[in-house]
Amino acid sequence: MADIIQLLPDHVANQIAAGEVVQRPASVVKELLENAIDAGATSIKLIVKDAGKTLVQVIDNGKGMSATDARLSFERHATSKIRSAEDLFQLNTKGFRGEALASIAAIAHVELKTKQETDEVGTVIVIEGSTVTEQDIVVTPNGTSIAVKNLFFNIPARRNFLKSNTVELRHIFDEFHRVALAHPTISFALYNNGSETFNLPNSNLRQRIVNIFGNKTNEKLVPVEEETEILTISGFVGKPEFAKKTRGEQYFFVNDRFIKSAYLNHAISSAFEGLLKNGTHPSYFLNLYVNPQTIDINIHPTKTEIKFDDEHTLYALLRSAVKHSLGQFNIAPVLDFERDSSLDTPYTFNNKVSNTPTIEVDRSFNPFTEDAKPRQRSVSMASSYKKEDTTGWESLYVGLESKGTKNTQDFSEVHFESDETTISAFNDESKVDQAQTTYQLHNKYIVSTIKSGMLVIDQHRAHQRILYEDFLRNMTIKEGVSQQLLFPLQLHFSTQEIDIIKELKEDLEHTGFVFSNLKKDSIEISGVPVSIPESEVSIILEQLISDVENEVPDSNFSATDLLAKSMAKSLAIRTGQTLKKEEQEHLVNKLFACKEPNVSPTNRTTFITMSVDELDKKFI
């Protein structure tokens, strides 16, 4: 039998490797930014067009490469960070696999310009699908500029799987934020379709967080500092009252490398136990510094997952450090046994001399003397009682019998009236049936009778369906009724969240929202839909942003539909809410006036029916 196993050609192997390293344009952004940092750059620019599908370019002022290194960097497993296997456990750099540039060059058009400070001219290399089409001398500034164009041009199936520009751009922003937060001492700039989106100067971590997420973030941060032999922690956590429904502002950095760890995230959540509302998540920006020998980075192609030698110790240290910071800055209640604040001297009594109380005694008082004043007073009081006229006491009893008879008649009349009322309440069957058409069960279900049996409605899902169709109708016919606010609402969001609101602004206005001002990090709302309370506006917008980010809609997604679903989910009656009889009946009537009363907007059953026959079978 002939041999059937053969070695893959390099260009095919590179395309397969690209499937692990390059999943979307954001993957290219991550690899190129990390290479720029490893090159010692102090200023990095990221240029993106069409959400990275047309162009991703990174320009840095690092040390650059020689002509030989520039050519060799696109070969597989070519790296300057690893010399032996032992170096894998002493990593202090970002990229070390040697697959990033080779994988990117296999699926895109790449143009590299690089120059070292000691050289007079630089090198330009052009690669198309792993094939070098040009290598020449070029005049270029110190550092490296690498442009990745037409991503997945030779793999159309992978290109078709990319999401819409909005979603892909959000992933690029996420990667940009992760790298920028890990290195606040490096200045970063991001240009999207020719316009500047971020310009982050050289700063400290707190200023970097504020520059990315808005000026309002500064008052939300609580510093966390802890240094031990095993672990050094520095960074910030958000105050509990500013916790969000999304997990967007959660960043762990281990040795300046962004990681994801559900285990360490649980440590933060347990430190905030009892301080957060249901359904909200704390914000944190924490740098963890450990010995590189105690971690293994090389367990995932994207290097976002790390294996720790002693996770339990890190969990305990991280939890206690966050809990200590929350207590130290009076965010969480603490017990202090050293002093009692109730014993402190009030400010108004400082430097005042206290008056010593004195007791005065009448030493001449003798209770046994006849001329004592209390004795005289008692005699006079007794004499006054004796002077009371008691003549004609018999007249007090005149007519007593007639009064008693009248009172008896009054009581009997009251008794009979009460009996009649009680009897009519229980015996008038028509009134009973009219008053009890619906029942609320456990403040969750509404039970109603129908001809064939019984109807059980989930009040939360049913109200979602009612609100969803109302909002969808208002947005379709563009006739949302707005209620003007006496004082406009000022809400603060990050730049990324503001962009989402801008995209949905037109649909929101059709529901009744009125935006008087949209800034880079805040919005001003002067009108809201009539059905929405003013206090719920920020919650609704946060939920809407969360839905847009987490549902990851594709190009066929309808912003109007998602907006109607999100608002209905935020405003629907909750499980556990007591409803009056009129509210129950109104909910039932509105539900069956909907076009699709059977399911909620998320395709979950809103009601079930049970016939009399089914009930009868239960008693067999």
CATH number, domain of 161, equals 3.30.565.10
Q: Tally helices (H) and strands (E) across the chain.
A: 18, 22
Overall average pLDDT of the 401-426 stretch: 47
Domain assignment present for 453: yes
Q: Say if 603 falls within a structural domain.
A: yes
* C-alpha torsion sign, points 318, 324, 330, 335: positive
φ/ψ (deg, to 5) at 516: -90, -20
**Across the chain, what does the average pLDDT equal?**
80
Q: 121 and 257: one domain?
A: no
Q: What are phi and psi of 222, to 5 degrees?
A: -120, 120
**pLDDT tens digits, 555-600:** 445 667 777 887 888 888 888 888 888 888 889 999 999 999 999 9
pLDDT tens, residue by residue, 497-544: 888 888 888 878 887 889 988 887 789 999 988 777 888 888 888 878
CATH code assigned at 295? 3.30.230.10
- In this predicted structure, what is the pLDDT of residue 439? 86
3-state secondary structure 383-394: HHHHCCCCCCHH
Mean pLDDT, range 8-34, rounded to an integer: 78
Q: Are residues 196 and 90 in the same domain?
A: yes
Type of residue numbered 597: P
Residue 461 has pLDDT above 80, yes or no: yes
Q: What is the DSSP string of 575-597?
A: TT----HHHHHHHHHHHTTSS-T
Residues 162 and 279 in one domain: no
CATH number of the structural domain spanning residue 533: 3.30.1370.100
Contact 314, 230 (CB under 8 A): yes
Mean of the pLDDT values across residues 6-23?
Answer: 71
pLDDT top residue among 432 and 85: 85
**What's the alpha-carbon Rg for the chain, to the nearest Å?**
39
Please give the share of the chain, as a percent, with pLDDT higher than 70: 77
Domain count for the chain: 3
Q: Choose the final residue of a domain: 328, 349, 384.
A: 328
- Name the residue with tokens 């649909």: 507
Arithmetic mean of pLDDT, 468-493: 82
| Model confidence at 186: pLDDT above 90 | yes
What residues are paired with 56 via a beta bridge?
48, 148
pTM above 0.85, yes or no: no
Mean pLDDT of the 244-269 span: 87
171 with 139, same domain: the answer is yes
Q: In whole angstroms, what is the distance from residue 514 CA to residue 279 CA?
A: 28
Which residues have C-beta within 8 Å of that of residue 524, sequence separation ≥ 6?
A: 488, 489, 490, 491, 515, 516, 517, 518
pLDDT at 380: 43
Task: Provide the pairing of β-strand 250-254 with 284-289.
Answer: parallel
SS (H, E, C) 503-532: HHHHHHHHHCCEEEEECCCEEEEEEEECCC
Q: Residue 102 falls within a domain, yes or no?
A: yes
Q: Which residue has the tokens 């009893």?
A: 397
Q: Are residues 466 and 498 in the same domain?
A: yes
190 and 63 in a single domain? The answer is: yes
State the burial class of residue 42 (Cβ atoms within 10 Å of its Cβ: 0-12, 13-18, 19+).
middle
Extract the tokens encoding 567: 């608002």
- When pLDDT is cut at 50, 70 and 90, the band that residue 329 belongs to is confident
The reply to whether 137 and 253 lie within a common domain is no
For residues 400-423, average pLDDT = 48
Looking at the fold, whether 54 and 148 belong to one and the same domain comes out as yes
Residue 451 placed within a domain: yes
In a domain, 2, yes or no: no
Residue 374 lies in a domain: no
Residue 109: what pLDDT?
93
In this structure, the answer to whether residues 21 and 126 fall within a common structural domain is yes
Per the structure, the complete domain to which residue 244 belongs is given by 212-328
Contact, 159 vs 150, CB < 8 A? no
What is the predicted pLDDT for the residue at 438? 86
Dihedrals phi, psi of 555, to nearest 5 degrees: -65, -20
Average pLDDT over residues 484-496: 85
Q: How many residues does the chain have?
A: 620
- Looking at the structure, tell me whether residues 166 and 250 fall in a common domain: no
pLDDT tens sequence across 206-233: 999 999 988 888 888 999 999 988 889 9
Sign of CA dihedral 494, 495, 500, 506: positive
Residue 386 lies in a domain: no
Residue 23: both structure tokens together: 């999943």
Report if residue 146 sits inside a domain: yes
The token duo for 548 is 């847009």
For 440, list phi and psi in degrees, rounded to 5. -105, 125
pLDDT at 345: 60
* Amino acid occupying residue 88: L
162 shares its domain with 303: no
Among the candidates 153, 170, 202, a domain finishes at: 202
Same domain? 319 vs 459: no
- pLDDT given for residue 383 in this prediction: 43
